Chain A
Amino acid sequence: MATPVLVVDDLHVAVDGKEILKGVNLTVHGNEVHAVMGPNGTGKTSLAQTLMGHPRYVVTQGQITLDGQDLLAMRVDQRARAGLFLAMQYPSEISGVTTANFLRTAINARRQGNAVGLKVFRDELEEAMDLLQMDHQFANRYVNEGFSGGEKKRNELLQLLLLKPRIAILDEIDSGLDIDAVKVVAQGLKSMVGPEFGALVITHYQRILNYVRPQFVHIMVDGRIVKSGDYHLAEELDAKGYDWVRAAETISGGA
């Protein structure tokens, strides 16, 4: 299968009539990990939610394609089945539905009638849980109900490993995690990266990037990517802070 490519072209997005994204350009290929960093309220989560198709985010201009297909013409579930995955910042609780049942239903939704065998599913599930250092009992608990913040984040990664998307967006997968958990989650993500998988990691902090080692780092300010570079940009940002970017933005914006 061809390597995936997600292209975001001049994306403008409004929420309740207010423009949040003001022309985002971004391309993510298979075998690549991109990081999007930026201060709070700058549009990172809006970008993630828009890519997945949340109805609250209205695209006013620009386009998004996955492997050449027009994502904006697709419903949320169609985007997922086309290979897009969003690890959410605040995963929902689904009462009464076990994690295992949910995962199997989601896997089968992609396989269109060719349902995964129970044994195969169980083996893959347990292997993924081991990689993420999760108790196997986890599979029998209701989806995210009563989970700690860290457990919810691991559950997002677990879904990613099992659903095997082509492009994954991870929205603050590191928030609320202790350093050991950050390492585990980063390892889980890295195990996926290859010619058939690319990732967009949205984060506030450089910490997780130490382990994920993205090839591309983008800095987002006020609804736009204002600076892109390699991994060293994240280190520079960590040392100098966001004020440095804001200052640079003002200068370049005035030029």
Chain B
Amino acid sequence: MALSSQTLTVTPENVANHLRDQFASDPEWLLARRREAMAAYFALPVPTRERTAFNADRSGAITGFESAPVPADLPLPVPETRGGVLSMAHDRVLVTRQPAALAREGVILTDLRSACRMQPELVAPHLGSVIDAAHDKSQALNAGWWHNGGFLYVPAGVRVADPVIWLHYHLPDQPGFFPRSLIVLEEDSEVVLIDYYSEGENGSAPVSRTLAAMTVEVKLGSGARLHYGSIEQLSETTDAFVHRSALAGAHSAIFWNVGVFGAGVEISRQSTRLVEPGAENHSVSVFFGSGRQHHDIDVVSIHDAPHTVSTMVGKGVMKGRAQSVFTGITEIRRGARGSNARQREQTLMLSDDARADAIPSLLIDENDVFAAHSASAGPIDQAALFYLMARGLSEEAAVRMIVQGFLAPVIDNISIDDLRQQVWVAVERKVSE
């Protein structure tokens, strides 16, 4: 199958054509939303961060890119699991596997575009309700041009025992990567979801630069519990804007475990709004940069109801000339009495050229709360390195041991077995690079 690619510049005229050509199978309500998002796109700012230079050369990529059709026969790996699996490469759904037992209980696991066609009454009220498309160009681009993603719906009271796995493959010949997913948990339901973002090898020559805008929206009903894990391992030719956000109802709990290992520049925002009493947000971020990678990660916890709880941990390692900025933002709004928030950030730099900033931020507008934070960033301890080498470990093995020790208290606490192992594999790969 011959693949042809074409350059597409984002102009109002091209947008209309692209929406018509690429998304003809979408229902009209969805097309209307896509058009609205792209109409707003032109006036919106390029997303920027204070400490992350997203230069003109790179931001140029956001105004134009090529697209090529994705072939149907892609032999990409699918994990062994008893739980549900959804595997996608761009708009192509490779595998959808929903255990029969889950279907009987009313659990829906499918790709988001199919869900928009088949279950509009479940999707339409939630899609776009957690993340504002008019925030910046990357969000508008995703809201307008998302090619596909996962949809998971768990009805009230249903607990899913085995982890559900989503794989989003970026193909190396694709200059745009816009996955979008939606997770809706009804009252007192519970599920474990692992959301992988990886490169899919298909033998094609890679494009020089890819722009990715990746979005995940989560809605938690009262008492619902979501264990969300993710590993991002995109290639360094990809610049990624990642936005994950959750709305958490009364006494619900979300457990985020997010590993960031890939991308050239990744600008991510993970935001959780605790909008009803007793809601909880527990977030763990592990990031590891090498070469000239740049990770700029914001994790936000918004306490907007009494007795809400958040814990936030960020741990990162930077080597080579890599740079990171981890900003933890805890916002406790007026009326969120009795709320409890803690955050801890720690980064380790393995070379003199690496840089890792950790910035905790507490915005508190209520008196009757508990909030604490700690942050540290430092180079590898030379005395410890000498100590380990004096016991016979090579410098490489000594650095590996120090890094493992640095990350172990966080990674070993990841409750999802598969995810914990995969995070260690990713760490090992980065250490050995």
Cβ-defined contact, B393 with A77, below 8 A? yes
- CB-nearest residue of chain A relative to B394? A77
CA distance A3 to B408 in the complex (A): 41
Cβ-defined contact, A80 with B392, below 8 A? yes
Cβ–Cβ < 8 Å partners of A85 in chain B: 390
Cβ-defined contact, B405 with A76, below 8 A? no
Report if A248 contacts B (CB, 8 A).
no
Report if B388 contacts A (CB, 8 A).
yes
**Smallest Cβ distance from A248 to chain B, in angstroms?**
35
Interface size on A, residues (CB 8 A): 29
Q: Mark A16-56, 1 if CB is under 8 A from B, else 0.
A: 00000000000000000000000000000000000011110
Cβ-defined contact, A94 with B384, below 8 A? yes
Cβ-defined contact, B395 with A77, below 8 A? yes
Q: Mark B379-397, 1 if CB is under 8 A from A, else 0.
A: 0010110111111111101
CA distance A180 to B408 in the complex (A): 36
Cβ-defined contact, B405 with A159, below 8 A? no
Report if A105 contacts B (CB, 8 A).
yes
Cβ-defined contact, A77 with B381, below 8 A? no
Q: Mark A132-173, 1 if CB is under 8 A from B, else 0.
A: 000000000010000000000000000100010000000000
CA distance A91 to B391 in the complex (A): 12
Cβ–Cβ < 8 Å partners of A106 in chain B: 388, 391-393
CA distance A90 to B392 in the complex (A): 18
CB within 8 Å of A: which of B389-423? Answer: 389-395, 397-398, 401-402, 404-409
- CB-nearest residue of chain B relative to A76? B389
Cβ-defined contact, B405 with A95, below 8 A? yes
Cβ-defined contact, A92 with B381, below 8 A? yes
CA distance A142 to B404 in the complex (A): 12
Task: Pick from A75, A79, A80, A142 the residue with the most CB of B within 10 Å.
Answer: A80
Cβ-defined contact, B406 with A109, below 8 A? no
Cβ–Cβ < 8 Å partners of B395 in chain A: 75, 77
By a beta-carbon cutoff of 8 Å, the part of chain A in contact with chain B is 52-55, 75-77, 79-81, 85-86, 88, 90-97, 102, 105-106, 109-110, 142, 159, 163
By a beta-carbon cutoff of 8 Å, the part of chain B in contact with chain A is 381, 383-384, 386-395, 397-398, 401-402, 404-409
A-B contact pairs, 30 of them (CB 8 A): A52-B386, A53-B390, A54-B386, A55-B386, A75-B389, A76-B386, A77-B389, A77-B398, A80-B390, A88-B390, A91-B387, A92-B384, A92-B387, A93-B384, A94-B388, A94-B401, A95-B405, A95-B406, A96-B405, A96-B406, A97-B401, A97-B402, A97-B404, A102-B391, A102-B401, A105-B401, A106-B393, A109-B391, A109-B392, A163-B391
